[in-house]
Amino acid sequence: MHDPQFDAQGNLTHLLSTEGLSRETITRILDTAQSFLEVSDRNVKKVPLLRGKSVFNLFFENSTRTRTTFEIAAKRLSADVINLDVSRSSTAKGETLLDTIDNLVSMHADMFVVRHSESGAPYLIAQHLHRIGRNDVHVVNAGDGRHAHPTQGLLDMYTIRHYKQDFSALTVAIVGDVLHSRVARSDIHALKTLGVREIRIIGPQTLLPAEGERLGVHVCHDPRKGLVDCDVIIMLRLQNERMSGALLPSAREYFHCYGLTPALLALARPDAIVMHPGPINRGVEIASEIADGKQAVILRQVTFGIAVRMAVMSLLAGTHAGTQA
């Protein structure tokens, strides 16, 4: 089955998931992001690569960090950015998602950055654009339901590469609510593609996917075993908004068993880095002394995220040579 992320020539035209991206494509995005990092240090933080292009941020689900970094990234590429007020948009009045897309395409949209609570919504938009012959309009998935969050996965890969260089020797632990986490899925696909030695998912049975082993990861319910000799620890937020019913006794009990504390971190390698997609919940999944400590690279992830999103948008828009599958 044809991957809707790529055109007939194999060029990346939408970013919908890290699944299906080749090592070469991911590396190309990360290398391009590296070239954009220095833009943030300039007095004038802009390059003209998307001048004249219109980027529509369609966030049907609340977000602050992701929407802001996408907006900053697009503006640094000199694009015109339109933030759709979804709570007051025509979709709230009964218009279908695809009718909304058709109207925005008529307004000469060049790119849609889409966050939606329903898994698959960005795919639906990409397939619709193909059907109506608008392959010049690009879709970036900024998070869809429990399915995928590819730019977060890519910025996580950038962060790991920045601090660890070689993926092949690494043991990476993903800790917490893996079951409801689109970030975890995006990270796992990308880590496997980049050749990480071992991926461990750690959490209570109620918060780990039943198909964990089939994903090619090691499942562990005891963090005292799972964190031993890890090089990278990715902590996850409890996705309370996606849980149906209580899956945990309490936040306090969760922190007691799975919260990252100095004692647990000491089980990892001395140079292990601690990551988190944010927003962090102090005293629930991570202790403050860890979040603010020297091994945490959480704020650097946010900085890297702007450069990665600049890279994705510039590559999709064709301002760099086509990225092959």
- What residues does 113 pair with on adjacent strands? 57, 140
Of 46, 8, 49, residue with least CA distance to 317: 49
Q: Is 152 annotated as a binding residue?
A: yes
Q: Is 278 annotated as a binding residue?
A: yes
- What residues does 273 pair with on adjacent strands? 232
DSSP state of 98: H
Q: Is 279 annotated as a binding residue?
A: yes
State how far Cα 296 lies from the chain centre.
18
How far is it, in rounded angstroms, from Cα 323 to Cα 325? 7
Q: Half-sphere exposure of 70 toward its Cβ, with a 13 Å CA cutoff?
A: 30
Radius of gyration of the chain (CA): 19
Q: Is 225 annotated as a binding residue?
A: no
3-state per-residue secondary structure call for 302-324: HHHHHHHHHHHHHHHCCCCCCCE
- H or E stretch at 170: none
- Give residue 228's identity as a one-letter amino acid code: V
Find the helix packing angle between 97-106 and 121-131, rounded to 10°. Answer: 50
- Give per-residue burial for 139-158: e unless 16+ CB within 10 Å, then b: bbbbbbbbbbbbbbbbbbbb
Q: Is 318 annotated as a binding residue?
A: no
Q: Is 115 annotated as a binding residue?
A: yes
Q: Cβ–Cβ contacts within 10 Å for residue 94, how many?
A: 7
Tokens of residue 93, six digits: 């009045």
What are the φ and ψ backbone dihedral angles of 55, each rounded to 5 degrees? -110, 120
Burial of 166 per CB tally in 10 Å (0-12, 13-18, 19+):
exposed
CB 272 within 8 A of CB 231: yes
Instruction: Provide the annotated binding site.
Output: 65-66, 93, 115, 149, 152, 182, 237, 278-279
Instruction: Provide the annotated binding site for L-aspartate.
Output: 93, 182, 237
Instruction: Provide the annotated binding site for carbamoyl phosphate.
Output: 65-66, 115, 149, 152, 278-279
